[in-house]
Amino acid sequence: MDLSLGPHYEEFRARVRGFLDAHAATAPRGILNLRAPETLAWQKTLIENGYAGRTIPREYGGYGAPADILEMRIIAEEFASAQIPQGLAGQGITMLIPTLLEFGTEAQREQFIAPTLRGELIWCQGYSEPNAGSDLASLKTHAVLDGDEWVINGQKIWTSTAHLADWMFCLVRTEPDKPKHEGISFLLLPMSTPGIEVRPLVTMTGDASFNEVFFTDVRVPAGQIIGRRGDGWKVANTLLGHERGMLGNPNLTLQRFNALVELMREETLDGSRLIDNPVWRERLMQIQGRMMALRANDLRLLSARANGATAPLAAMVVKLQGTELRHDLEGLAIDALGELGVLYRGSPLLRDSGYWQQHHMYFLGLIIGGGTSQIQKNIIAERGLGMPREPRAAGR
Amino acid sequence: MDFGLSPDQVLLQDTLTRMLAEQAPLERVRRYAEQNEDRAGDVWDATVELGLSGLVIEEAYGGAGLGLVEAALAAETLGAHVAPVPFIATGVVVPLALQEGGSEAQRDRWLPRLASGACIAGLALSEHSGAREDARIISEQDRLSGRALFTLDHAADAYLVADTVGALYLVEADAAGLTRIDLTTVDRSRRTGELCFNKTPAERLAGSDAALTRRCLDRARVLLAADTLGAAQHMLNAAVDYAKQREQFGRVIGSFQAVKHMCAEMAAALEPCRAMVWYAAYALEALPDEAHLTACHTKAHLSEVGKSVARTATEVHGGMGFTDLLGLHYWFKRIGLNRQLLGSPERLRHEAALAQGLVDGIGET
B225: which chain A residues are within 8 Å (Cβ-Cβ)?
none
Please tell me the pTM assigned to this model.
Answer: 0.94
Residues B142 and B107 both lie in one domain: no
Query: Residues B86, B194: contact at Cβ < 8 Å?
Result: no
Give, in order, the Cα–Cα distances in Å from A244 to each of A97, A237, A240, A300, A312: 15, 10, 6, 16, 12
Query: What pLDDT does A250 receive?
Result: 77
B260: which chain A residues are within 8 Å (Cβ-Cβ)?
377-378, 381-382, 387-388
Q: Looking at chain B, which residue has its C-alpha nearest residue A319?
A: B268
Query: What pLDDT does A239 receive?
Result: 66
Catalytic residue among A59, A243, A266, A282: A243
Q: Looking at chain B, which residue has its C-alpha nearest residue A385?
A: B240
Instruction: Tally the C-alpha atoms within 13 A of residue B22's C-alpha that lie toward its C-beta.
Output: 9
Across the interface, which of B271, B301, B352 has its CB nearest the CB of A317? B271
- Work out the angle between the directed axes of helices A6-23 and A69-82 (0-180°, nearest 10): 40
Residues B50 and B183 both lie in one domain: no
**Cβ contact (<8 Å) for A299 and B275?**
yes
* Closest Cα in chain A, distance from residue B169 (Å): 33
Distance, in Å, from the CA atom of B56 to the CA atom of B71, rounded to the nearest integer, reads 7
Segment 273-332 of chain A within 8 Å of chain B by CB: 275-276, 278, 281-282, 284-286, 288-290, 292-294, 296-297, 299-300, 302-304, 306-307, 309, 311, 313-314, 316-317, 320-321
Query: What pLDDT does A134 receive?
Result: 85
How many A×B Cβ pairs under 8 Å? 157
CA A280 from chain centre, in angstroms, equals 32
The answer as to whether B363 is a domain residue is no
**Cβ contact (<8 Å) for B260 and A376?**
no
Is A8 strand, coil or helix? helix
Distance, in Å, from the CA atom of A186 to the CA atom of A170, rounded to the nearest integer, reads 6
| pLDDT over 80 (residue B333) | yes
- Which of B61, B86, B116 corresponds to the end of one domain? B116
Q: How many domains does chain B have?
A: 3
The answer as to whether B360 is a domain residue is no
DSSP, res A25: T
* Closest Cα in chain A, distance from residue B161 (Å): 30
pLDDT band at B365 (very low <50, low <70, confident <90, very high): very low
Distance, in Å, from the CA atom of A257 to the CA atom of A264, rounded to the nearest integer, reads 11
The answer as to whether B305 is a domain residue is yes
Query: Residues B89, B153: contact at Cβ < 8 Å?
Result: yes
Query: What pLDDT does A395 receive?
Result: 46
Distance, in Å, from the CA atom of B66 to the CA atom of B29, rounded to the nearest integer, reads 28
- What's B240's domain CATH number? 1.20.140.10
pLDDT band at B134 (very low <50, low <70, confident <90, very high): confident
Residues B204 and B180 both lie in one domain: yes
The answer as to whether B362 is a domain residue is no
Query: What pLDDT does A241 receive?
Result: 60
**Cβ contact (<8 Å) for B255 and A388?**
yes
Residues B95 and B157 both lie in one domain: no
pLDDT digits (tens, 9 = 90+) for B159-211: 999 999 999 999 999 999 999 999 999 999 999 999 999 999 999 999 999 99
| pLDDT over 80 (residue B142) | yes
* Closest Cα in chain B, distance from residue A282 (Å): 7
Most A CBs within 10 A among B247, B279, B290, hence the mutation to make, goes to B279
B350: which chain A residues are within 8 Å (Cβ-Cβ)?
278, 281-282, 285
Query: What pLDDT does B26 receive?
Result: 98
pLDDT digits (tens, 9 = 90+) for B76-105: 999 999 999 999 999 999 999 999 999 999
Each residue's pLDDT, cut to its tens digit, for chain A (396 residues) gives 999 999 999 999 999 999 999 999 999 998 899 999 999 999 999 999 999 999 999 999 999 999 998 999 999 999 988 999 999 999 999 999 999 999 999 999 999 999 999 999 999 999 999 999 889 999 999 999 999 999 999 999 999 999 999 999 999 999 999 999 999 999 999 999 999 999 999 999 999 889 999 999 999 999 999 999 999 999 998 766 655 445 566 778 999 999 999 999 999 999 999 999 999 999 999 999 999 999 999 999 999 989 989 899 999 999 999 999 999 999 999 999 999 999 999 999 999 999 999 999 999 999 998 889 999 999 999 999 999 997 766 544
Determine phi and psi for A318, rounding to 5 degrees: -60, -50
In this complex, is the C-beta atom of A269 within 8 Å of any C-beta atom belonging to chain B?
A: no
Residues B204 and B220 both lie in one domain: no
Residues B350 and B215 both lie in one domain: yes
Q: Is A4 exposed, middle or buried (0-12, 13-18, 19+ CB in 10 A)?
A: exposed
A262: annotated active-site residue:
no
The answer as to whether B1 is a domain residue is no
**Cβ contact (<8 Å) for B350 and A302?**
no
Concatenated DSSP letters of A219-252 = EEETT-EESSTT-HHHHHHHHHHHHHH----HHH
Domain that holds residue B141: 121-209
- What's B187's domain CATH number? 2.40.110.10
The answer as to whether B279 is a domain residue is yes
Segment 118-177 of chain A within 8 Å of chain B by CB: none
Decide the pairing of beta strands A184-190 and A196-201. Answer: unpaired
* Closest Cα in chain A, distance from residue B28 (Å): 29
Long-range contacts (CB closer than 8 Å, 24 or more residues apart) made by B46-51: B46/B19, B46/B22, B47/B19, B47/B83, B47/B85, B47/B87, B47/B117, B48/B116, B48/B117, B50/B15, B50/B16, B50/B19
A387: which chain B residues are within 8 Å (Cβ-Cβ)?
240, 243-244, 254-255, 260, 263
Q: Is A230 exposed, middle or buried (0-12, 13-18, 19+ CB in 10 A)?
A: middle
Residues B175 and B94 both lie in one domain: no
Distance, in Å, from the CA atom of B155 to the CA atom of B121, rounded to the nearest integer, reads 8
Residues B223 and B292 both lie in one domain: yes
First CA to last CA across chain B, in angstroms? 32
* Closest Cα in chain B, distance from residue A252 (Å): 18
Residues B73 and B147 both lie in one domain: no
Residues B319 and B293 both lie in one domain: yes
The answer as to whether B228 is a domain residue is yes
Residues B128 and B110 both lie in one domain: no
Specify which residues B251 forms β-bridges with. Answer: B248
**Cβ contact (<8 Å) for A387 and B359?**
no
A312: which chain B residues are within 8 Å (Cβ-Cβ)?
none
Give the CA dihedral A269, A275, A279, A281, nearest 10 degrees: 160
First CA to last CA across chain A, in angstroms? 49
Is A153 strand, coil or helix? strand
In this complex, is the C-beta atom of A266 within 8 Å of any C-beta atom belonging to chain B?
A: no
Q: In what order do the strands lie in the sheet with B143-148?
A: B136-140, B143-148, B192-201, B178-183
Mean pLDDT of the region B114-127: 95
Query: What pLDDT does A173 receive?
Result: 98
- Which of B96, B116, B136 corresponds to the end of one domain? B116
- CA atoms A188, A190, A191, A196: torsion sign: negative
Domains and CATH numbers, chain A: 6-89 (no CATH), 123-228 (2.40.110.10), 247-384 (1.20.140.10)
**Cβ contact (<8 Å) for B3 and A284?**
no
- What's B14's domain CATH number? 1.10.540.10
**Cβ contact (<8 Å) for A303 and B359?**
no
- Which of B67, B82, B116 corresponds to the end of one domain? B116
Residues B77 and B135 both lie in one domain: no
The answer as to whether B361 is a domain residue is no
